[in-house]
Each structure stands twice: as structure tokens, then as C-alpha cells.
Amino acid sequence: MKQINKIAVLGGGGRTGNYVIAQLLNQGYSIKLLLRNPSTFQLSSPSISILQGDALDDKVTRSLVEDCQAVVSTLGQRKDEPLVAAQATINVLKAMTECGIQRYILVAGLNVDTPFDKKSPATRTASEWMKTNFPAIHEDRQKAYSVLSSSNVNWTLIRVPFIDFAAMAGKTIVSLEDCPGNKISASDIATFVVRQLRDDTYFKKSPFISNV
């Protein structure tokens, strides 16, 4: 695999994003972080450079990724804001292609469907809840998956259930067909995300991860 030293991060100021940033720093990566409001970001490190801007802006996205070797996104939809998942994915993939970057790792909910799924009744119920209550957000995520599927980059879409931000790290179970449990710690998501930077097991795949 190509040597990866510098990571472009979208959503790094969010709750899961904070854990991902901490893990990346722990493992010695340099980080280029896209933030809409840099003044609210607490962490400071010589390994972090910050770019102010919006993931919906393709020029900003291009500036973000251009000197990086991989992209990580924990972007989440904010209430009453324009849909972000599909357009950010389109922007990132375009910028990655222009800059010759191969690795893209994203986090999404378990509601995203793929042709390889064998969702259990519990996972189907949770997915249906999302589709019924947040249809536009679900459709946007599904569109992001569709855009990824037809791209040439080595993407991994990590699907997660309810995120427990207070929980300690535990054992992570992975499945390509169904969500193995109903929650996961943010710490374990971050560990799994960062591990993907040196692992090709889930290239062009959408693993579900959860704690037991």
C-alpha cells in the first residue's frame, strides 16, 4: 500500500471526529482538518493544520485534500441545514481523483443499504425507523453510497449503530452483512477508522461494526 502520512479530515470537530483526531495524533499522523468554525475547536497540536470552510464547497474540498494521502470523514447532518453526505462525497471523490489520492474512509449509520446485506429483523427495524423519520437524510446517505460504489478510489464506508460517547473501548465485531449489535463506543469507531489506513481488507466495502 502507498505510504500514508497526512490525512484530510472532514467532521473532525464533531463528537466521533474528536476521537478520530486523537487516535490519528496518537499514531503519528499529520492532519489537515476542515472546520466551519475553527474557534470552537479545542485541540491544538503541531501535527494539525486547519482549513476553514464548508464541505459543500468543492474548491475548499480540493484545497483540503491536495497535499494529503488519504481522506477520513465523520461528517454528520446538522438539523435544518442543506443535505451534506452525497454532495460532500461527490466533492471529495472529484478532488481525490484530481490529486491522485486513493484512500477514503467514511462513517455512516446502519440504515444505509447495500446489495450485499442480510439485515436481521432488528437491523431492518432500526433502518426503517431512520427511513420513516428522516427520509431525506436517508436518501442522501444512500446516494452517497451509490456515488462511492461507482468510483475508482479505495473507499470504505463504515456503518455503525447508536454511538455511545461515554463508553470505554471494548471488543469490536465486524460484519459485511448485518449489524452485529445495537451500539458502539466512539473510541472503538476511531480505532477501526484509523486501522483502515494500513489495511486493505475493506477496500470498496461497507462493514458494519459494533460492540458485543
Ligand X SMILES: NC(=O)c1ccc[n+]([C@@H]2O[C@H](COP(=O)([O-])OP(=O)(O)OC[C@H]3O[C@@H](n4cnc5c(N)ncnc54)[C@H](OP(=O)(O)O)[C@@H]3O)[C@@H](O)[C@H]2O)c1
Site residues for ligand X per CB under 6 A: 11, 13-17, 34, 36-37, 54-56, 74-76, 78, 84, 107-109, 160, 162-163
By beta-carbon proximity to ligand X, the closer residue of 2 and 165 is 165
d(CA 153, CA 200): 12
What is the distance, to the nearest Å, from the Cα of residue 139 to the centroid of all Cα atoms in its chain? 17
CB of 2 to ligand X, least distance (A): 26
CB of 94 to ligand X, least distance (A): 16
Bridge partners (DSSP) listed for residue 73: 10, 106
CB of 33 to ligand X, least distance (A): 10
CB of 3 to ligand X, least distance (A): 27
By beta-carbon proximity to ligand X, the closer residue of 14 and 181 is 14
By beta-carbon proximity to ligand X, the closer residue of 102 and 182 is 182
The HSE-up count of residue 26 (CA atoms within 13 Å, CB side) is: 11
CB of 85 to ligand X, least distance (A): 7
d(CA 172, CA 180): 9
By beta-carbon proximity to ligand X, the closer residue of 129 and 162 is 162
C-alpha to C-alpha distances, 98 to 11, 66, 92, 133, nearest whole angstrom = 22, 9, 10, 37
Question: What letter would DSSP give residue 153?
Answer: S
CB of 107 to ligand X, least distance (A): 4
CB 176 within 8 A of CB 201: no
The residue number with the shortest CB distance to ligand X is 14
By beta-carbon proximity to ligand X, the closer residue of 54 and 66 is 54
3-class SS of residue 40 = helix
The C-alpha cell 446517505 sits at: 141
By beta-carbon proximity to ligand X, the closer residue of 72 and 108 is 108
102 φ, ψ to 5°? -105, -25
